[in-house]
Amino acid sequence: MIVPRYPFRILTVAVVVLLSSCAPTIVQEPTQLAAGTGKSFRLTRAAEVRLSTGYSTTLRANTRWELVGTISQGEVYRTRDQVVTLEGAHIHEGYVVVKQGALVGFYLPVERTFSPVTGSQPLSVEP
């Protein structure tokens, strides 16, 4: 019996399409968090942040951010007012990393890594 190759080609194309449509992973760089406390700010306007994966995350207005430490890329702040998630092939929790009043990326506390954003984004804040 001769088996036609047509179904095999369809299956091969389907597998390739499915694998190529997977979301990209979040870019992560190793870093060391040095503890810090005492500083905080309130985000006065919401910030929509585009991620390298094509997804975005929103930092809500009127959230209070508290310093948890510093890394070489900037100061790391977290909030108890919302859970910030970064979406790619997986979903990660993120703390904002701020340098000179602008968001430069996210610190991923579970992975203990830094995830940069494309171009820094100024934040509207008050003490």
pTM: 0.82
Residue 8 has pLDDT above 90, yes or no: no
CA 49-73-110 angle, to 5 degrees, is 70
Which amino acid is it at 2? I
- Domain positions in the chain are 29-126
Average pLDDT of the chain? Answer: 88
In this prediction, residue 85 carries a pLDDT of 97
Place of tokens 């406390």: 37
Cα separation, 86 vs 111, whole angstroms:
13
At 34-91, the pLDDT tens digits run 999 889 999 999 999 999 899 999 999 999 999 999 999 999 999 999 999 999 999 9
Q: What is the CA radius of gyration of the chain?
A: 20
What distance in Å separates the CA atoms of residue 3 and residue 9, rounded to the nearest whole number? 12
Token pair in block for residue 1: 């019996």
Residue entry with tokens 């991620």: 51
pLDDT higher than threshold 50 for residue 17: no
